[in-house]
Structure 1
Amino acid sequence: MELQQMRYVVAVAETNSFTRAAERCMVVQSALSHQIARLERELGARLFERTSRRVRLTPAGAAFLPAARQCLDAAERAAAEVAAAVGEVRGRLNVGLIPTVAAVDIPSALRDFRRAYPNVRIGLRVGASEELVEQVREGAVEVAFLGLPTTSRPHGVAAHELAHDRLVAVVAPGHPLAGETAVDLHRLSFEVFVDLPAGTAGRVQSDLAFSAAGLSRDVAFEVTNADFLARLVGQGLGIAMLPAAYVRQLSGVTTIEVTDAPARVEYVIWSRAGRTPAATAFLALLDVPAT
């Protein structure tokens, strides 16, 4: 069994096509098919069901795929560790982030990192805080940036606190509240809201604040993308509560202080099992203490 065969299996599984997999791996299709057939003979089971219209994993293939990915990740990490031992940082850095991250200028940090370590391949994943914690625990992401209510903390991962931030109300410029300098949660409870999906960390902090105040509110629109959320607010479809530091980069909306607003804490997290050389270098660039 060879690593290249595993790469071919992963490529076919991800593209659902021998043709596209061969293009991704930059080999002729016949060579890729031959190597997968050879691996299937060695394993004594077919990994893919092939028809004229589709390619999909067999139960044996579905069982093989996670282990193949782990082997490839381990091989890549081994090569990166050897390179680091002789003073070169390379390999892959997968960075996860919430849409409203504000404590770190991610594009600027990645620009500086790329200049310093051009041999590192970088992947970005945008998601909810709870999803990113799970991805770091599973090893799919090396470093992630989260925002959590002050009552929560990331579990099962190493974490460093970056910043505290209060939420502010965001309304359309023509909204009746746009002329106010400050409001409270009671006044906001009469409005229609645009918010993140129920159960996500970005939504929970607002839900908890209204609940603690004995208030309810109408969330008419649930949006997974914070920028699009702000666009809906700008069209007058509802109001929102977003972190003050993040709102500064938005246009077409008006910001109002909320006197009893909830707060959030931004964290950077990484695996407790250890940092890859690329992750260590990236965190060092951000002046995150080595712990």
Structure 2
Amino acid sequence: MPATLRAFRERYPHVRVRLRVGGSDELVEHIKQGIIDIAFVGLPGEVRPKGVDVHELARDRLVAVIAPGHPLAREPAVDLHRLAAEVFVDFPAGSAGRAQTDQAFSAANLVRDVAFEVTAADLTAELVAAGLGVAMLPSAYVPRLSGVSTVEVADAPARVEYLVWNSLGRTPAVEAFLAVLKIPTGPPTDAAAN
């Protein structure tokens, strides 16, 4: 995202960009209400944003994020059953970031202990590095974190990254942002039917 924002700013220096961070569900709702123009959101693999136009950017799987001294850090891979025995650091209950792990553990008939709920992956990594729990985060994001190790999760849930914007019409700024990303800007799609 920073590289995209830099390219947009270089091409359109007079367009004011205000960056907001929030949960995926909240950002989609803000798009529908016209509060924001465009958003990057990450959702569980089987969930697609509704009521907005979407462009799929990437698919990823979650990995276990563990303190370097944790016994699991030496394992080449783990499964959800093994992770269920650990204390977790995760996003708040009900958030899109939390839904994918909750659904995966529920589908495997496993219960886990989420002792710490945080809203930022950076804070998640700090708590994990301090040995307070383990977490599951997208594999593409984890290399940006320091002080933690990662382990593949054999039965990890999938995650899809989307770019979303209002299905009722594109502002010139949205059109320009889509052009920077080389996303086709033809007539709007009927995303409301999704």
Fold-level similarity (TM above 0.5): yes
Match of 2:16 among 121, 137, 145: 121
In structure 1, the residue matched to 2:87 is 192
In structure 2, the residue matched to 1:168 is 63
Instruction: Provide the rounded CA distance (Å) in 2 between the counterparts of 1:244 and 1:260.
Output: 14
In structure 1, the residue matched to 2:34 is 139
Instruction: Provide the rounded CA distance (Å) in 2 between the counterparts of 1:141 and 1:250.
Output: 28
SS of 2:144 mapped into structure 1: coil
Instruction: Provide the rounded CA distance (Å) in 1 between the counterparts of 2:58 and 2:120.
Output: 22
In structure 1, the residue matched to 2:148 is 253
TM-score normalised to structure 1 length: 0.63
In structure 1, the residue matched to 2:177 is 282
Instruction: Provide the rounded CA distance (Å) in 1 between the counterparts of 2:44 and 2:115.
Output: 22
CA drift at 1:220 = 0.4
1:105-116 matches, within 5 Å, as: 106-116=1-11
CA drift at 1:116 = 0.9
Q: Does residue 178 of structure 2 align to residue 178 of structure 1?
A: no
CA drift at 1:276 = 0.9
Q: Does residue 45 of structure 2 align to residue 150 of structure 1?
A: yes
> Where in structure 2 are there 5+ consecutive unaligned residues?
189-194
In structure 1, the residue matched to 2:192 is none
Q: Does residue 114 of structure 2 align to residue 231 of structure 1?
A: no
The one-letter code of the counterpart of 1:116 is: R
Aligned length, in residue pairs: 186
Larger RCO (CA under 8 A, 6+ residues apart)? 2
CA drift at 1:110 = 1.2
List, as ranges, runs of 4+ consecutive aligned residues in structure 1 with deviation greater than 3 Å.
none
CA drift at 1:226 = 1.1
Q: Does residue 105 of structure 2 align to residue 210 of structure 1?
A: yes
SS of 2:61 mapped into structure 1: strand
SS of 1:173 mapped into structure 2: coil
Deviations 1:121-169 (A, max 9, x none): 1101100000000000011110100011112110110011111100000
Deviations 1:68-90 (A, max 9, x none): xxxxxxxxxxxxxxxxxxxxxxx
Instruction: Provide the rounded CA distance (Å) in 1 between the counterparts of 2:81 and 2:5.
Output: 41
In structure 2, the residue matched to 1:65 is none
Q: Does residue 168 of structure 2 align to residue 273 of structure 1?
A: yes
CA drift at 1:234 = 0.4
SS of 1:121 mapped into structure 2: coil
CA drift at 1:108 = 1.2
CA drift at 1:198 = 0.3
Report sequence identity in percent. 66
